[in-house]
Amino acid sequence: MSVQLRSQINEASGRAPARSATVPVKIAAENVNVYYGPKHALKAINLMIGEKQVTALIGPSGCGKSTFLRCLNRMNDTIGICRVEGLITLDRENIYDKSIDVVQLRARVGMVFQKPNPFPKSIFDNIVYGPRIHGLATTRDELDEIVQISLERAGLWSEVKDRLREPGTGLSGGQQQRLCIARAIAVSPEVILMDEPCSALDPIATAHIEELIDELRENYTIVIVTHNMQQAARVSQRTAFFHLGEMVEIGDTEEIFTNPRDERTQGYITGRYG
């Protein structure tokens, strides 16, 4: 594919996203470059993420989709050799601006990781960890309410309501991951980033999480990185395809999977490489 065509696609997706007419933009990335030391991991990414939508990032391993995800709540700050250039805005505010408090940012942009990582504390303490840190609740009643609402939203309440004092690490893998989602919800974020949230889970637990993602879409903007193309097709409204540090193509999920414009996208979704 020619360079010209690719830049047209970037332009099309960056300046005038396909469905932006109906959905307001929550996060916008403009000309984002990321370097790990001398390695150029992300090259001139332009991407917009619509509010209260699920956006899936797909692509072969090492293509930079997780790196991009971690830019959105500045988790890459914890990696010493990582350098981010370009503009990323959340509600039109540059999140890499000096005036932005990264603690506040991460309260607004929550994250769920590849491997369930509950803290070695009780289920209750796992949920109230964030609210306590941010001072969202102080009384016992408020905390109880947050725990119940978060667990209900994460579809875990009925399973654990009688054992909130037991350690979160004692739950099954799927339950642990839903606990981590509940933990993220408890801070009332606006965006939830999910980095391959189902890759460590069995098919039934995966189905559970996918249902949950579909429900969460009502209240939250969700960005999900996945290796599983069926999953991207099932849960997302928009899909972006990454390849070798470039964003090749973004569009409505149906469009991407039925009628990809780029032959690399075509090759990936038909399983020729990846």
Partner 1 sequence: MPLSFLFAVLLLLSIVGYQLGRNRAVATVDGKISRLHSVPSYYGFYVALWAGLPAFLITILWLVLQGSIVDALVMNSLPAAMTNVSAQELTLLRADVQNLAAGVGASRTPDPSMLNAAAYYLELRSIARWAMTGLAVVIALLALSAARTRIKPALRARNQVERTVNVFLILCSLVAIMTTIGIVMSLLFEALRFFGRVSLFDFLTGLQWSPQTAMRSDQTGAVGAFGAVPLFLGTMLIAVIAMLVAVPVGLMSAIYMSEYAPLRVRSTVKPLLEILAGIPTVVYGFFAALTMAPFIRDVGLALGLSVSSESALAAGLVMGIMIIPFVSSLADDVINAVPQSLRDGSYGLGATKSETIRQVILPAALPGVVGGVLLGFSRAIGETMIVVMAAGLSANLTINPLQAVTTVTVQIASLIKGDQEFDSPKTLSVFGLGLVLFFVTLCLNLVALRVVQKYREKYD
Binding stretches for partner 1 (CB under 8 A): 73, 75, 78, 80, 102-107, 110-111, 113, 115, 117-121, 129-130, 133-134, 180, 183-184, 187
Residue 56 dihedral angles phi and psi, to the nearest 5°: -100, 135
Q: Which two tokens stand for residue 176?
A: 């642990």
Query: What is the rounded CA–CA span in Å between residue 196 and residue 57?
Result: 10
Q: Which two tokens stand for residue 151?
A: 């667990």
User: DSSP string spanning 3-46?
Assistant: HHHHHHHHHHHHHS-TTTTTS-EEEEEEEEEEEETTEEEEEEEE
Query: What is the rounded CA–CA span in Å between residue 49 and residue 127?
Result: 27
Query: What is the rounded CA–CA span in Å between residue 10 and residue 247?
Result: 8
* Residues present in the chain in total: 274
Query: What is the rounded CA–CA span in Å between residue 137 and residue 130?
Result: 10
Q: Is 13 exposed, middle or buried (0-12, 13-18, 19+ CB in 10 A)?
A: buried
